């Protein structure tokens, strides 16, 4: 199996991932949160940065984040403690090794591009969802221009003490030639092959560089 990123890439990202939130990312979190209901799964959750938009949301009864970087999980645990959200937790695990759960809805934001075998991961996610459960998959496509996005973020975040590290890490991650940045057609085919049906999709975020897919467990 090809290793696309080292765990250390994510552990070194954890502090700034938690503390820096550009407006373009804020817009994504708010949009994704609207689709979530019941027991929510977040696959590749990082620091669980979306949880402030889920905690206390009508219709959301719980949350389980999944990530395989220890520092990310530690920061996520801290965030959940601050929120005091009932039935919110984070698992330190590989997505494809999660078992014993059935979820009402799920999301995966900017994680797919790190998966060595997307079909295996997507099929496993499908197996953890109830029929009809919404799944929101958000991941960059080949047109992602991280330098342009960074220049936009500079306008609002240059004074943030963690922003320089955040900016540099995002440029490094996006610049990895092994990153799985794919077109919408590829994602739709893989989702359909993994037990999902397409509801809608668009590329309205990140200056067109982000695939946003609303699928459902078939």
**What domains sit in the chain, N to C, each tagged with a CATH number?**
7-217 (3.40.50.150)
For the chain, count helices (H), then strands (E): 8, 7
Strands 210-217 and 134-140: antiparallel
CA 38 to chain centre: 18
pTM of the model as a whole:
0.96
The beta-carbon contacts of 191-198 under 8 Å, at least 24 apart in sequence, are 191/122, 191/135, 191/137, 191/215, 193/119, 193/122, 194/119, 194/122, 194/123, 194/125, 194/126, 195/123, 195/126, 195/127, 196/122, 196/126, 196/135
Q: What is the pLDDT along the chain (218 residues), one digit of tens a residue?
A: 455 777 777 778 999 999 999 999 999 999 999 999 999 999 999 999 999 999 999 999 999 999 999 999 999 999 999 999 889 999 999 999 999 999 999 999 999 999 999 999 999 999 999 999 999 999 999 999 999 999 999 999 999 999 999 999 999 999 998 889 999 999 999 999 999 999 999 999 999 999 999 999 99
Query: What's the farthest any 2 CA atoms get from each other in the chain?
Result: 46
């Amino acid at each position: 199996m090809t290793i696309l990123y080292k765990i250390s890439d994510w552990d070194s990202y954890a502090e700034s991932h938690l503390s820096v939130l550009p407006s373009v990312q804020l817009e994504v979190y708010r949009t994704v949160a609207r689709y979530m209901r019941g027991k929510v799964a977040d696959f590749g959750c990082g620091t669980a940065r979306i949880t402030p938009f889920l905690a206390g949301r009508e219709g959301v009864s719980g949350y389980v984040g999944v990530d395989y970087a220890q520092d990310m999980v530690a920061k996520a645990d801290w965030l959940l403690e601050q929120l005091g959200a009932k039935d919110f937790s984070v698992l330190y695990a590989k997505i494809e090794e999660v078992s014993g759960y059935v979820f009402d809805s799920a999301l995966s934001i900017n994680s797919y591009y790190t998966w060595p075998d997307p079909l295996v991961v997507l099929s496993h996610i499908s197996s953890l969802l109830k029929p009809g459960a919404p799944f929101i998959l958000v991941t960059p496509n080949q047109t992602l221009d991280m330098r342009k996005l960074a220049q936009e973020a500079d306008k609002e975040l240059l004074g943030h003490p963690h922003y320089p590290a955040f900016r540099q890490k995002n440029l490094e991650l996006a610049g990895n030639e092994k990153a799985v940045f794919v077109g919408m057609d590829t994602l739709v085919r893989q989702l359909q092959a993994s037990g999902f049906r397409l509801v809608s999709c668009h590329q309205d975020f990140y200056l067109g560089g982000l695939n946003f897919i609303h699928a459902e467990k078939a």
